Homo-oligomer: A and B are copies of this chain.
Amino acid sequence: MTTLKDLSRHLNLSVTQVSRALNDHADVSEETRRRVKEAAIKLKYQPNVAARKLVSGRSGIVGLVLPNMPKMAEAPIFVQTVGGMSAHFARRRMQFVLNIADESEPILEIYRRLISGGSLDGFVLLEPVRDDPRIEFLQSQKVPFVVHGRDREEPDYPYFDIDNFGVAHRLTRYLTDQGHRRIAFLNGREGLTFVEARREGYRAALGEAGLRYDPHLHLCADMEEGFGIISAVRLFSENPRPPTAVIAGNLRIAKGLYDALRAMHLSVPQDVSVVAHDDLLPDIKANAFDPPLTTTQSALELSWEPLAEFLAGAVANVPAAALQKLGELRFVERESVAPPQQP
């Protein structure tokens, strides 16, 4: 293994100067810098991360801590997430480590262990809840992190999110504009901030249309196909006043919903209008629905690069304000909505 000392001997330079040359410091001549870099490549020099970390405090390793094994239904998202992050961090010459918690160990303990050993530079946080304890903890420990989402409206930490209020608002508004007055919303698991944001967007759009928010029409659960199926039954077969339109939180829910509606001989959009939000996952396509589904869309896949970039920035002490971004959102009109039938 080549070290700085080897290089310095080989070049008749001091270790100091070699280090400075490789790190592009100011006071090293152009000529020397070139020589050094060439030699480094020729001798396959790779800096020893441990040594570097010891003095600089940075290890180039960031982590993702998951509270539990992902369920099978979440597999595609898990692949996207872990794969995407890993790839983008690798591109930045950073290591990405995955840590799946034992249920036995409290999650904050895991963070504590990982940071106090000094092995990790920072973390990626997924699925924040309101006033997320992880965020509070990491902030109190002054450990860099980036959040996929937000746990409050205007955070002072790095994040990448989409306008979830806008998602729900837009979808709801589109339906009220067509004359719908009873609109159900199949949202996500309660407590998650993006679910709350969507609820508010939904509620706001209802208000603007002069409609009142009916809690019976706002359902919360894990965003799986089964949720769509069960909700369809609950909304349309056990309900004296069923909705005329349904908003699905993602395509998986919408899929279940479509299937169940078909089984109940309700047709889209004649009997029920359906819209959804589409994360553009590769395994399920909105225009492969029958009829093609009207959606808001924003590619989940585009999250990983900014997340990696922002975490790298945070580790390098870039101020948080420069490390915040909202993803693009598009509205795509297809054929799953019609005006409500007159009763």
Q: Which residues of A contact B (CB under 8 A)?
A: 1-2, 44, 46-51, 53-54, 59-61, 63, 69-70, 72, 74-76, 78-79, 82-83, 86-87, 90-91, 95-102, 112-113, 116-119, 282-283
Contact = CB atoms under 8 A, between A and B. Distances in A.
A118 B72 contact: no
Contacts of A282: 72
A79 B72 contact: yes
A119 B93 CA distance: 12
A255 to B, nearest CB: 15
A49 B118 contact: yes
Given A60-B119, A86-B99, 19 more contacts: A44-B116, A48-B54, A48-B118, A49-B50, A50-B53, A50-B118, A51-B54, A54-B54, A61-B61, A61-B95, A63-B95, A70-B79, A75-B78, A78-B78, A82-B82, A82-B98, A87-B100, A87-B102, A97-B97
Contacts of A51: 50, 54
A120 to B, nearest CB: 8
Contact of A116 (B1, B53, B54, B113): B1
Given A50-B50, A90-B102, A83 B95 contact: no
A280 to B, nearest CB: 13
Pairs of residues from A and B, 9 with the lowest C-beta to C-beta distance, nearest first: A50-B53, A75-B75, A46-B116, A97-B97, A49-B119, A87-B100, A50-B50, A72-B283, A46-B117
Given A50-B59, A54-B51, A72-B76, A90 B86 contact: no
Contacts of A1: 116, 118
A271 to B, nearest CB: 30
A119 to B, nearest CB: 4
A60 to B, nearest CB: 8
A2 B96 CA distance: 26
A146 B91 CA distance: 26
Contacts of A60: 119
Contacts of A46: 113, 116-118
Contacts of A2: 116
A46 B118 CA distance: 8
Contacts of A100: 83, 86-87, 90
A309 to B, nearest CB: 16
A100 B99 CA distance: 16
Given A76-B75, A82-B82, A100-B86, A50 B95 contact: no
Contacts of A82: 82, 98
Contacts of A61: 61, 95, 97, 119
Nearest to A87: B100
A46 B51 CA distance: 18
B44 A54 contact: no
